[in-house]
Structure 1
């Protein structure tokens, strides 16, 4: 099995989180605003594409910043 180099882990985590958060959040928001109607699936797909397109770059930009901030405000026991 092919393994990915560990140095790419932050990027892979950000992309994966952006993808799944986009899917889940768009599903919930579409369900709330459209309901389980005939147009739900198409509305969700549109919403999911936009959410993923925005979520992945945001996760890539914000992730390292959050890690740095949290490393600065936490201590080892």
Structure 2
């Protein structure tokens, strides 16, 4: 697993995994990840103005999550 993602606070909500930068700050950067099948996932950046589910190939998931959680 990626070192940046290893430090995120994971939880399960509505059938998706939520990764949150700061577990004590409900407004911190966070993403929801929902596995569609073995090859694709849907990801949503919670609280982003354009927050919609985006399909991401499983092989690109870690890079996509790192980018989403590092955005300010």
Both proteins in one fold, TM over 0.5: no
Q: Which structure carries more strand by proportion?
A: 2
TM-score (norm 2): 0.33
For the pair shown, the structure with the greater C-alpha radius of gyration is 1
Larger relative contact order, structure 1 or 2 (CA cutoff 8 Å, min sep 6): 1
Q: Which structure carries more helix by proportion?
A: 1
